[in-house]
Amino acid sequence: MGLRLLAALALGLVALPVLAREWRFDVTLDGIGIGTYRYVLQESGDVRRVTADARFRVKLLLIDAYSYEHHAQEEWQGDCLTTLTSRTVERGKTTTVSAREDGDAFVIDGARGRETLPRCPMTFAYWNPRILQARQLINTQTGTPTPVTITSLGNERIDVRGAEVESLRYRLETERNLIDVWYSPRDEWLALRTTTKAGGHVLSWRRR
């Protein structure tokens, strides 16, 4: 890279290319299809912008027995979350979250009111395998900091888009859920499964 280009980058005169990645999942509840989840990640230099959209419907005798819509936007500086906004409508009830970095703190206005964390937290950002080193992750639906215990479950072959592939399986345990997440040997997020401790219901995400 030439000296002129390096100087221009340092002065902000040259725009860095934006790299985009997308993950789309079909979601089932206890084996029954209920909707989709979509993540879009845009990276420009060290800045990451993430948009997440979910839409679930559970019908009983042609009537919506359960509905869920979630939209979240996150901005990261490297592996540090700097801002978060989300809006969730579940069974007609709306929850909003607004959070931001403020000096050495990260301030969250969420379902439990205002909470303050040290700077550089992480959400349940499954697209980033660095979450596997965390002890606490933020729930984007509620803004609640959630303690997690993470265990490696070893290698496993799983079906992804009709092909059997090698994967590494990890378990994230929270107070309410057991979350299994699979990554490729190159750290590509492949699949997710959540099992509730109360009732044993299983929510599975299958890559489209």
63 pLDDT tier (thresholds 50, 70, 90): low
Confidence (pLDDT) at 9:
47
The span from the CA of 52 to the CA of 73, in Å, is: 7
Q: Which amino acid is at 94?
A: T
The span from the CA of 194 to the CA of 208, in Å, is: 18
* Domain range summary for the chain, segments of one domain joined by +: 18-207
Alpha carbon dihedral 178, 192, 36, 61, in 10-degree steps, equals -50
Burial 85-95 (b: 16+ CB within 10 A, else e): bbebeeeeeee
The span from the CA of 96 to the CA of 100, in Å, is: 14
**What does the pLDDT look like over 158-205, one tens digit per residue?**
999 999 999 999 999 999 999 999 999 999 999 999 999 999 999 999
Alpha helices in the chain (DSSP H): 3-10
**What does the pLDDT look like over 94-129, one tens digit per residue?**
999 999 999 999 999 999 999 999 999 999 999 999
* pLDDT greater than 80 at residue 56: yes
Confidence (pLDDT) at 140:
98
Domain at 18-207, CATH class: mainly beta
